[in-house]
Structure 1
Amino acid sequence: MNMLQLERMKNDNGFIAALDQSGGSTPKALAIYGIPKEAYADEAEMFQMVHEMRTRIMKSPAFTKERILAAILFEKTMDLKVDDKYSADYLWDVKGIVPILKVDKGLLDQENGVQLMKPIADLDALLARAKERHIFGTKMRSVIKEANPTGIKAIVDQQFEVGQAIVAAGFIPILEPEVDIHTPNKAEAEAILKQEILEHLKALEPSCQIMFKLTIPDIDNFYQEVIAHPNVVRTVALSGGYSREESNIKLAKNPKLIASFSRALTEGLNVGQSDAEFDKVLDESIQSIYEASIK
């Protein structure tokens, strides 16, 4: 593990840029960017186009370590290059931004009010490649749709089980048990989730370092016990479908909780913009999210 990256993640100001749209979410991300489905013939062309979008973001003068701590990459992005460097090396060597890898393979069908992660059959091989590509940490998402104690416990059990395997391989995992923003009784679901997280944290060895990516809670400062826990390197928030403005307003009410936004980060960017226009929109987006993250 790169100790400079660990210290940066623990102590520096900034937020995490989520550039990890997968096969299922990429068409929507490209459409918002101004590239319709008709513009690419197959999946290979689609992934090439989204890599070009991500490359444009990473290379922008607005995308700097002063405001961005880390960036989460999709698996295919990890294996592609930016200016003749693999994406993770470009982020760290050129930009000083910590590279993180999305490792989950999507979601199972809903059961007990939640969607668990699909089994990650090739996790060991994927982590071996991630080590070769100089990845610092990982991220994996599951989703809570109802305030169902049985389902939420299953989510947290799975996240911690896989997370500990990732720690054993030498990475810092981001556990992401997302509470869908449309969940009925969202605050109740968050209360069950927090209790499960705190119970699981009690069982960790002091050397086991993890991170969390959580939905911005309905109750301000709700996750302070998680954020302050000695096993937790950092706790970040997803935008979850809120607009950037709404996400920033909600985030700013939660001190020490920092952003890890995807859609909210790229809101307003378009393939047809000149570089100057693109960089201006991105700069304004990054600045607003940064300010909400350091409140």
Structure 2
Amino acid sequence: MNTKQLNRIQTGKGFIAALDQSGGSTPKALLQYGIDESAYSNEDEMFTRVHEMRTRIITSPAFDSEYILGAILFENTMDRTIEDRFTADYLWDEKGIVPFLKIDDGLAGLENGVQLLKPIAGLENRLERANAKNIFGTKMRSVIKEANVTGIEQIVAQQFEIGKRILSYGLVPIIEPEVDIHSPDKAKSEELLKDMLLEHLSGLSQDAKVMLKLSLPSIDDFYVELINDPHVLRVVALSGGYEQREANEKLSRNRGLIASFSRALSEGLTAQQTKQQFDDTLSRSVRSIYAASIS
């Protein structure tokens, strides 16, 4: 594990940029960026278009380590290059931004009020490749729709079981049990989730370090115990579908919680913008998310 990267994530000021839209969510991300399906005819061309978008974001002067601590990449992005360097190396060597990798294969069907992770095919191979590509940590997302004790227990157990396998490769897992912001019993789900997270954290070996990626909570400062847990490097918040302004406003009321936004980060960016328009729009987003993260 890279000690400089570890210290940066643990103590640095800033937020984590989520640039990890995968196969299922890529067409929507491209459409929001102003590229419709007529611009590509197969999956490889689609991923080329989205890599062009991510390259434009990452190489922008607005995408700066003064504000951004790390970036989460999709596997296809990890395997591609920016200015003749693999993306993770470009992020760290050129930008001073710590690279993470999304490793899940999406969500299983709804059961017991939750969507568990699908089985991750070839997980060990993926983790070996992440190490070879100088990735610092990983991310995996499952979703809680209802305050169902059985389902939430299953989600947390699965996340920590896979998290321990990730730790064995010297990588830092971002454990992400998202609570759906539209859930009618969101606050109750968060209460159950926090208790179970604390229980599983207490079962980790003394030197194990993880990160948590959680929905913006219904009660301000609700995650303070998790933020202060000795096993937790950082707790980061997903925007979960909130527009940027609302996500920032909610985030700013939670001390010690930092952003890991995807849609809220890329809000307003389009392929049709000039370089100046693109950089200015991204700069406003980056600075506003940074301000909310350090409040």
Task: Determine the structure 2 residue equivalent to 1:109.
Answer: 109
Task: Determine the structure 2 residue equivalent to 1:85.
Answer: 85
In the superposition, the TM-score normalised over structure 2's length comes to 1.00
- How big is the shift at 1:184? 1.2
Task: Determine the structure 2 residue equivalent to 1:43.
Answer: 43
Task: Determine the structure 2 residue equivalent to 1:243.
Answer: 243
**d(CA) in 2 for partners of 1:187, 1:153:** 16
Q: Alignment partner of 1:65: what SS?
A: coil
| 1:208 is the counterpart of 2:208 | yes
Q: Mapping of 1:47-126 within 5 angstroms?
A: 47-126=47-126
Q: Which moved more, 1:195-204 or 1:76-85?
A: 195-204
- How big is the shift at 1:155? 0.2
- How big is the shift at 1:172? 0.4
- How big is the shift at 1:47? 0.3
Q: Alignment partner of 1:261: what SS?
A: coil
Q: Alignment partner of 1:76: what SS?
A: helix
Give aligned-pair identity as a percent: 61
Q: Alignment partner of 2:107: what SS?
A: coil
Task: Determine the structure 1 residue equivalent to 2:169.
Answer: 169
Q: Which moved more, 1:200-209 or 1:283-292?
A: 200-209
Task: Determine the structure 2 residue equivalent to 1:226.
Answer: 226
In the superposition, the TM-score normalised over structure 1's length comes to 1.00
Question: For residue 155 of structure 1, what is the amino acid of its counterpart?
Answer: I
Question: For residue 270 of structure 1, what is the amino acid of its counterpart?
Answer: T
Task: Determine the structure 2 residue equivalent to 1:286.
Answer: 286
Q: Mapping of 1:24-39 within 5 angstroms?
A: 24-39=24-39
1:27-64 CA deviation, whole Å, 9 max, x = no partner? 00000000011211111110000000000000000001
**d(CA) in 2 for partners of 1:120, 1:175:** 15
| 1:252 is the counterpart of 2:252 | yes
Q: Alignment partner of 2:281: what SS?
A: helix
Aligned length: 295
RMSD: 0.4
Q: Which moved more, 1:244-253 or 1:35-44?
A: 35-44
- How big is the shift at 1:205? 1.1
Q: 4+ residue stretches of structure 1 with deviation over 4 A?
A: none
Task: Determine the structure 2 residue equivalent to 1:149.
Answer: 149
Q: Which moved more, 1:99-108 or 1:38-47?
A: 38-47
Give the gaps of 5 or more residues in structure 1: none
**d(CA) in 2 for partners of 1:73, 1:213:** 15
- How big is the shift at 1:26? 0.4
Q: Alignment partner of 1:213: what SS?
A: strand
